[in-house]
Amino acid sequence: MVTAYDFTMARLLDEGGADILLVGDSLGMVVQGHPTTLPVTVDEICYHGRAVSRGARRAHVVGDLPFMSFQLSPLHALENAGKLMKEGSFESVKLEGGEEIAEHVRRIVTAGIPVMGHVGLLPQSVHAMGGFKVQGKGGDAAERVLADARALEEAGAYAIVLEAIPPDLAEEITTAISIPTIGIGAGPACDGQVLVCYDLFGMFRELTPKFAKRFAEVGDTIVEATRSYVDEVRTRAFPASEHSFKPNGPRHRPLPP
Ligand code: KIV
Ligand code: NA
């Protein structure tokens, strides 16, 4: 699973074999430049969802329910989950939290909308957690994360993201529940893994979470390509004759298929 926020990236990730594309509320940080995910709205998730779902050929597309779009009541959660499905072209929704939102999950699932859970570090609760910090350390805290995962399975979730918890706890949860776990900073025992696409590609340079492996340095490539472009424009090396229209040549590039 990888996050995606636009058509072009979705096409590339789908071609690369990602099974699930998540329009995460991480878009507040990596696309909008906010310090947290809190400002993201349902309408923004829907806007990006429409673009991503046009780009996904085979991958399943999940939409995040942003902060304050599902907390008020199970009905409130269902209303916004339905909006994501109708206006965001999503195939399932994801929401943060455990036992305290289990009834909300049940209500959404009952309406025929598949739900992915998310426990451990909850970025929407960053201020309550005292920062983006590893969760589930120590007996009581670990028990609570396990209980949260069990509550979500019981409520009908089809998979659960485990974020920033010790690997042995992630392994225990993965064994204890029958639905797939998808880890981010939760060790290798999870059934799947998820990364923010800009972290995976080495494009988000404001901070690199400990758990985010850069599989490429696309950020460097973009900076270097921009420098070459700027340089060639200044020296008039670009555009060359092959980039210029001939008097009787084709008038434009063929449209993509
Ligand atoms: O918003 C997001 O990108 C997420 C993933 C990191 C799981 O919730
Ligand atoms: Na999220």
- Determine which of 207-211, 227-231, 250-254 has the lowest per-residue pLDDT on average: 250-254
pTM over 0.80: yes
The pLDDT of residue 257: 64
The pLDDT of residue 255: 66
Q: CA–CA separation, 244 vs 31, rounded Å?
A: 34
Q: Whose CA is nearest to atom 4 of ligand 1?
A: 24
144-174 confidence digits (pLDDT tens): 999 999 999 999 999 999 999 999 999 999 9
The pLDDT of residue 78: 98
Q: CA–CA separation, 256 vs 55, rounded Å?
A: 13
| CA 48 to each of CA 26, 53, 57, 188, 233: distance values in angstroms, whole numbers, following the listed order | 12, 9, 16, 30, 33
Residue 64 is assigned to a ligand binding site: yes
Distance in Å, CA 25 to ligand 1 centroid: 6
Q: From 3, 30, 163, give the residue whose CB has the most ligand 1 atoms within 8 Å, as the site to mutate.
A: 3
At residue 26, does pLDDT exceed 90?
A: yes
88-137 confidence digits (pLDDT tens): 999 999 999 999 999 999 999 999 999 999 999 999 999 999 999 999 99
Structure tokens at 124: 């929407």
The pLDDT of residue 254: 66
The pLDDT of residue 251: 66
In this structure, the residues whose C-beta lies within 6 A of any atom of ligand 1 are 3, 22, 24-26, 64, 161, 184, 194, 196
Q: How confident is the model at residue 250 (pLDDT cuts 50, 70, 90)?
A: low
Q: What percent of the chain has pLDDT over 90?
A: 90
Helix spans in the chain (H): 7-15, 27-30, 42-55, 74-87, 102-110, 139-155, 167-176, 197-200, 218-234
Q: How confident is the model at residue 253 (pLDDT cuts 50, 70, 90)?
A: low
Where in the sequence numbering do the catalytic residues fall?
163
Mean pLDDT of the chain: 95
Q: Whose CA is nearest to atom 1 of ligand 1?
A: 24
Q: From 2, 25, 36, give the residue whose CB has the most ligand 1 atoms within 8 Å, as the site to mutate.
A: 25
Instruction: Sketch out the chain's domains with CATH numbers.
Output: 2-217 (3.20.20.60)
